[in-house]
Amino acid sequence: MNWDMVGALAEAAGALGVILTLIYLTVQIRQNSKLIDDNRKAVTAQSTRDVELFIANYTFEAARDPEIRKIVENMVAYDNGESIDDLQWYAMRNFMLSLALAIQSQWVNRETGIGFDESTTLQFRILRGLIEGNAAWRRLWEDEALTFPAGFREAVMSIEDAPVLDTDFFFKKDHPTTT
């Protein structure tokens, strides 16, 4: 057998090996990309469900828990110009901050490309309405300016069609919708 022929066959086999390797890697990359996309969608859905469940539980607890009802009553009093002590403010601050941080997590998801914009926008409208309509929320928003990223603050404050949600809003039977 001719050594030139053997060399040529070896080169052909090597080239075929490279081509097969490239095809294999292309298939693997496509499969991996699909898995990553599927995982991103699952994380997005789970994250949105988690925040919406938190807000639903937050609202439910506010309705049934006497301590949280007292916090809301203090918000109404504060909104009506009555003074509150430091302990009452601390309780209100933490109550409001937990909701604002949950909404901020939706903003983070949206900014990283994994959040649902419609859901996030609705939550921004509600938060903006609370800030505009309630003295306690306004104070929190001002006092905690450094707690929230500038982009989040800008996103919330850029909402123009937010309903004004004063604390009395939550006690009215007939009130405008926030959707």
CA distance 17 to 37: 30
**Taking a C-beta distance cutoff of 8 angstroms, is the pair 116, 51 a contact?**
no
DSSP secondary structure code for residue 113 in this structure: T
Q: At what angle do helices 66-79 and 86-111 cross, to 10 degrees?
A: 100
Is-above-0.85 flag for pTM? Answer: no
Nearest to 47 by CA among 149, 120, 98: 120
Domain boundaries, the chain: 46-171
167 — pLDDT class (breaks 50, 70, 90): low
- Looking from the CA of 128 toward its CB, the CA atoms found within 13 Å total 19
Q: pLDDT tens digits, residue range 121-143? A: 888 888 898 888 888 889 999 99
